[in-house]
Structure 1
Amino acid sequence: MAKVTTIIDIGSNSMRMVVLEKSSRFAFNLINETKSRVKISEGCYENDGNLQEAPMQRAFNSLQSFLNISKALKSRKIICVATSALRDAPNAKEFLSKVKNELGLNIKVIDGSKEAYYGGVAAQNLIDCDKFITVDIGGGSTEFAFINNRKIEKCISLDVGTVRLNELFFSKGDIEGAKNYILEKLKQVTSCGFDVPTTIVGIGGSIRALSKIIMNKNDYPLDILHGYTYPVSINKYIIESIINAKNNTTLKHIGVKKDRFDTIKEGTFIFNTILEELNTSRVITSGAGVREGVYLTDLLRSSNCKFPSNFNVSVRSLLDRFQIDSKQSSYFGKNASDIFEVLKPLHQLDDKYRVLLVVASKLHSIGTTLNFYKSNDNTFDFILSGLNYDFLHSSRVTIAHIIKFSKKSLPMKRDLDRYNELLPCFETMQWLSFMISLNLTINQDFSNPKVKYKLKENKLKVCLQKSIYLVESEVDKLQTPKGVKVKVVS
């Protein structure tokens, strides 16, 4: 696969592009994301589905700019897909031919099932959840993918979208007609032969805009949309306030951005109808969708479109980008696991914290690239936004705090106040802080020493194969939780 790849998604409402750089076999990072609200389907649903001249010209002009960006970033591969508006339009060939002849770009028009599949591929690889249904609300259609144990079981596409329903119903004031239309279409989902999960992974601009509003209304401490999770029941009043907003002034007061005034009510109405009909209890927001799904389908074509087990693309891409020594990161990871295991009779933590401790131990040094003297603080800030995929927000925040307090002193309660709702209990954070501090101290001279651990009651014996003065002198300075005593012997 090309080192730098461009993916363009031409939707009914927006055209989006991502440029992704491959850093190792399965790892990559985002180097550009561009969006243009071209509204290519504007006016088509009231004109027998035909694309109109002005929207086509807007899309063409935007594609020119997209290709300029792609070229400047030295992209060697461009994949361009088009969804509902072009697959429905009788005159789509006119636009496709113009783009191919004048811009040299081949656009692949995908059907609804393939669009749903790409969203499913993105979600199953980049969202930390085992069973859910994706919902991707676009301008012309809405896609669903049933995911169970990281496997896509069913893909469905419905002719339900913000632009389509606005032209057919909302612009005419026919709200009841819009709801009946959606409910009739949803029968394809509720009677497809699969149990509908109570968790929805939301994809698309309308759902992300709604999630951002809910996040702000709840004073959420982390400004990250991907992976943001909220219960439907206690946020229903926010959803209904958008649907019932009388004008743009009201929408602005609620927190809707200006560029969403024209679609947010329709998108929220569609989503609310889906939530109610599917009895959804929880929504997970996905920042990844069709574009990432197209990329991953290409990247992972030899592995059934799934990452290998125990592989995390965010961790791997950070290790690649910061050129962390593989032997050192492997040592810190294994040693973290050993320390966690030997102390388990005392800390009694769930094994999920072993995973977070290992990740924190592998990534702890990336902040030194930015500023050695503020390494932990730099890493903390970077991890909060840098662990882009396949981590719950609680996991991301916990890893950042483990690294921040990988020093001699344990965190105090006041140190954890800001992100308290996303962190485990205070005692758990103290244990995790102690274990990473011990881990880093043992390999302070980067010699990857051979070490064995023995625990007797509350005394941990660290058995080194040979004496290392730095380790022996520094371990004594570590603050320990619950009166644990540590002794180094060689």
Structure 2
Amino acid sequence: MAKITTIIDIGSNSMRMVVLEKTSRFAFNLINETRSRVKISEGCYENGGNLQEAPMQRAFNSLESFLNISKALKSRKIICVATSALRDAPNSNLFLNRVRNELGLNIKVIDGKKEAYYGGIAALNLVYSDRFVTVDIGGGSTEFAFIKDKKIEKCISLDIGTVRLSELFFNKNDYVGAKNHILEKLQEVLDCGHEIPQTVVGIGGTIRALSKVIMIKNNYPLDILHGYSYSVDLNKYICDEIINAKDCEILKTLGVKKDRFDTIKEGTFIFKTILEELQIKRVITSGAGVREGVYLNDLLRNSNYIFPVNFNVSVRNLLDRFQIDERQSAYFGRNAGAIFDALQELHNLPPKYRVLLIIASKLHSIGNALNFYKSNDNTFDFILHGLNYDFLHSSRVVVAHTIKFSKKALPKRKDLKDYEQLLPELDVMQWLSFMISLNLTINQDLSNPKVEYKLVGNELNLFFEKEIFMVKNEVDKLETPKDLKVCIYS
């Protein structure tokens, strides 16, 4: 696969492009994301589905700019897909042929099930959840992919997009007709032969815009949409506020951005109707969708379209980008697990914290590349936004705080206040802080010493093959939780 790849997705409402750089076999990094609200399907649903001249010209001009960006970034491969508007339009060949002849770009028009499949591939690889159904609300259609145990069980596409329903119902204030149309189409999902999961992974601009409003309303501390999760029942009133907003000023006060004023009410109405009819309990917001799915379909074609077991693309990508020494990273990871296991009887933490401690130990040094001084604080800020994929928000916050308080005094309650709704109890963070501090102290001369750990009562004994003066001196300075004592033998 090319080192730098461009993916373009021509939707009914927006045209989007991502440029992705491959950093190792399965890891990649986003280096550009561009969106243009071309509304290529504008006016088509009330004109026999035919694309209109002005929207086609907007789309052509935007594609020309997209290709300029791709060329400037030295992309060696371009994959362009088009969805509902072009697959429905009887005159789509006018646009496809012009783009091919004048811009040299071949556009692949994909059917609804393929669109749902790409969204499903992105979600099952990049969202942390085991069983869910994706819902991707576009301008012309809405796609569903049923995911269970990292496999796509079923893909469905329905003609219930925001632009389509606006022209057919919403512009005439026929909300009853719109709801009946949605419910009629949803019967295909209800009758598909698969049990409806209680969790939806929401894809697309409408759902991301709605999630942003919900985050603001709930004073959520982390300004990250991908992976944001919320209860449907507790936030229905927010959907109603958007749907019932009388004008754009009210939408603005709710936190809706100007470029979403024209579709957010209709999109929220569609989404709320789907959630209610399918009896969904929880929504997880996905920042990844069709574009990432197209890329992963290419990247993972020889591995059954799924990342290897225990592989995390975000962790691997950060290790690649910051050129962290593989030998040192592996040592810190192994040693973190050994320390966690040795102290299990005292800290009694669930296995998930072992995984997070290992990740924090591997990534702790990325701040050095930004600025050696205040390295922990640099890493903290970067981790909050850098662990993009396949991480719960709570997990990335725990990793960031674990690193922030490494080789320092144990965190106090006031230190965790800003993110307390995403963090575990104070004693958990103090144990993680101590364990990563001990790990970094043991290998501060980067010699990867062999150490055996033995817990006797509340005393952790460390057995080294040879004495390392720097280690003994620094271990004595570590603040320990629950009166734990650390003794070194060589």
Mapped pair 1:381 → 2:381: yes
In the TM superposition, what whole-angstrom CA distance separates every residue of 1:404-462 from its partner, at most 9, and x where no partner exists? Answer: 00014111110000000000100000000000000000001000001100111110001
Percentage of pairs with the same residue: 76
1:156/1:189 contact within 8 Å kept: yes
1:227/1:393 contact within 8 Å kept: yes
1:135/1:203 contact within 8 Å kept: yes
Per the alignment, residue 238 of structure 1 pairs with 238
Per the alignment, residue 70 of structure 1 pairs with 70
Mapped pair 1:419 → 2:448: no
In the TM superposition, what whole-angstrom CA distance separates every residue of 1:142-178 from its partner, at most 9, and x where no partner exists? Answer: 0000000111100000001000000000111111000
The SS at the match of 2:178 is helix
The SS at the match of 2:145 is strand
Per the alignment, residue 154 of structure 1 pairs with 154
Per the alignment, residue 358 of structure 1 pairs with 358
Q: State the shift of 1:246 in Å.
A: 1.3
Mapped pair 1:143 → 2:143: yes
In the TM superposition, what whole-angstrom CA distance separates every residue of 1:125-147 from its partner, at most 9, and x where no partner exists? Answer: 00000000000000000000000
Per the alignment, residue 297 of structure 1 pairs with 297
Provide TM-score, normalisation by structure 1: 1.00
| CA distance in structure 1 between the aligned counterparts of 2:473 and 2:256, rounded to whole angstroms | 57
Do the aligned partners of residues 408 and 252 (structure 1) sit closer, same or farther apart at CA in structure 2, a change above 3 Å counting? Answer: closer
Q: State the shift of 1:253 in Å.
A: 1.9
Per the alignment, residue 52 of structure 1 pairs with 52
- Counterpart of 1:283 in structure 2: which amino acid? V
Gaps of 5+ in 2: none
1:38/1:59 contact within 8 Å kept: yes
Per the alignment, residue 479 of structure 1 pairs with 479
Mapped pair 1:107 → 2:119: no
The SS at the match of 1:8 is strand
- Counterpart of 1:94 in structure 2: which amino acid? L
| CA distance in structure 2 between the aligned counterparts of 1:304 and 1:12, rounded to whole angstroms | 30
| CA distance in structure 2 between the aligned counterparts of 1:36 and 1:461, rounded to whole angstroms | 61
- Counterpart of 2:263 in structure 1: which amino acid? T
- Counterpart of 1:145 in structure 2: which amino acid? A
The SS at the match of 2:380 is helix
| CA distance in structure 2 between the aligned counterparts of 1:333 and 1:3, rounded to whole angstroms | 28
| CA distance in structure 1 between the aligned counterparts of 2:61 and 2:325, rounded to whole angstroms | 45
Larger deviation, residues 404-413 vs 132-141:
404-413
Mapped pair 1:275 → 2:275: yes
Per the alignment, residue 348 of structure 1 pairs with 348
Per the alignment, residue 13 of structure 1 pairs with 13
1:408/1:477 contact within 8 Å kept: no
The SS at the match of 2:430 is helix
The SS at the match of 2:302 is helix
| CA distance in structure 2 between the aligned counterparts of 1:471 and 1:93, rounded to whole angstroms | 70
Per the alignment, residue 95 of structure 1 pairs with 95
The SS at the match of 1:34 is strand
| CA distance in structure 1 between the aligned counterparts of 2:248 and 2:187, rounded to whole angstroms | 33
Per the alignment, residue 218 of structure 1 pairs with 218
| CA distance in structure 2 between the aligned counterparts of 1:366 and 1:80, rounded to whole angstroms | 35
The SS at the match of 1:213 is helix
| CA distance in structure 2 between the aligned counterparts of 1:155 and 1:85, rounded to whole angstroms | 19
Gaps of 5+ in 1: none
The SS at the match of 1:418 is helix
| CA distance in structure 1 between the aligned counterparts of 2:264 and 2:22, rounded to whole angstroms | 35
| CA distance in structure 2 between the aligned counterparts of 1:293 and 1:194, rounded to whole angstroms | 23
1:27/1:317 contact within 8 Å kept: yes
Q: State the aligned residue count.
A: 490
1:132/1:148 contact within 8 Å kept: yes
| CA distance in structure 2 between the aligned counterparts of 1:190 and 1:443, rounded to whole angstroms | 57
| CA distance in structure 1 between the aligned counterparts of 2:173 and 2:4, rounded to whole angstroms | 47
Matches of residues 438-457 of structure 1 in structure 2 within 5 Å?
438-457=438-457
Larger deviation, residues 400-409 vs 131-140:
400-409
1:15/1:35 contact within 8 Å kept: yes
The SS at the match of 1:135 is strand
| CA distance in structure 2 between the aligned counterparts of 1:220 and 1:310, rounded to whole angstroms | 29
Per the alignment, residue 308 of structure 1 pairs with 308
- Counterpart of 2:282 in structure 1: which amino acid? R
- Counterpart of 1:180 in structure 2: which amino acid? N
Q: What RMSD, in angstroms, separates the aligned Cα atoms of the two structures?
A: 0.5
Mapped pair 1:26 → 2:26: yes
Provide TM-score, normalisation by structure 2: 1.00
Larger deviation, residues 408-417 vs 176-185:
408-417
| CA distance in structure 1 between the aligned counterparts of 2:309 and 2:295, rounded to whole angstroms | 19
The SS at the match of 1:471 is helix
The SS at the match of 1:31 is strand
1:229/1:285 contact within 8 Å kept: yes
In the TM superposition, what whole-angstrom CA distance separates every residue of 1:321-379 from its partner, at most 9, and x where no partner exists? Answer: 00000000000000000000010000000000000000000000000011111100000
